[in-house]
Amino acid sequence: MSALPDTIIPAAGASQRMGEWKPGLPWRGGWVVDAVVDAARAAGSRVILVAHDDRLPERFGGRKGVTLVHNPDPDRGMFSSIQCGMAAVRTDWCFVLPADMPLVPSAVFALLHRAAEHHMAHATVSQVRDRDFPAVRPVHDGAPGHPVLLPPSVVARVRTLPPNATMRDALSVASMVEVAVEECGVIIDLDTEEEYRRYRDGD
């Protein structure tokens, strides 16, 4: 695993807690989802952007390094969007990064990637044979964050679980390696209008 894995960005949900569609909210000269996509692309990852209607295809159609995938029924939950995106993944591993986390720094992708490569290099013969590697996620001040880097065993499991499953179900086949990071952006999502306004204005 030398090239950076693909990144799934599920952006098809209705953002019910916010009351507005979060990916399209104004954010520092663009949209919230622009910042999320830009972080993954700046790291060198191919992006799989999962949408429900025409807003994202109109904005990102033809964008280099961005593949658009349609989720016909996002009300099933975020896991259904991750499953839809997984159908377009070309790499053995892949990142998952929610579309409402515009403060994740691009450098975190490479950090997680190096941690995964380290564990692969020190894996046992049976682990390599079974592709039994841990998932990797960043942790800030003890709190788990995103993106999460999924190993081949979890990638395969996501593709076979029912749409009403969860990422917790998918991750049950793998251990988890946590990488401490200083950047608090890995744990900041925009769940409420108060959070959105606070971080949009740079506080």
Q: Is residue 1 part of a domain?
A: no
Q: Is the pLDDT of residue 125 over 70?
A: no
pLDDT for 173: 85
Tell me the CATH number at 75: 3.90.550.10
pLDDT for 192: 86
Give the least confident one: 15-29, 35-49, 131-145, 151-165.
Answer: 15-29
Range of the domain at 187: 6-198
Mean pLDDT in residue range 151-166: 91
Look at residues 104, 108, 105, 91 and name the one whose alpha carbon lies nearest to residue 2. Answer: 91
Q: Tokens 């622009």 belong to which residue? A: 34
pLDDT for 15: 60
Band of residue 127 on the pLDDT scale cut at 50, 70, 90: low
Q: How many CA atoms lie within 13 A of 146 on its CB side?
A: 22
Distance between CA atoms of residues 135 and 154, nearest Å? 8
DSSP for 12-66, please give it. Answer: -S--TTTSS-GGGSEETTEEHHHHHHHHHHHHTPPEEEEESSSHHHHHHTT-TTE
Q: Is the pLDDT of residue 68 over 90?
A: yes
Q: Is residue 63 part of a domain?
A: yes
Band of residue 97 on the pLDDT scale cut at 50, 70, 90: very high
Give the least confident one: 11-15, 115-119, 135-139.
Answer: 11-15
The residue type of 115 is: A
Q: Is residue 203 part of a domain?
A: no
Number of domains comprising the chain:
1
Band of residue 65 on the pLDDT scale cut at 50, 70, 90: very high
Distance between CA atoms of residues 200 and 15, nearest Å? 17
Distance between CA atoms of residues 45 and 37, nearest Å? 9
Q: What's this model's pTM, rounded to 2 decimal places?
A: 0.93
More confident residue, 43 or 202: 43
Average pLDDT value over all residues in the chain: 90
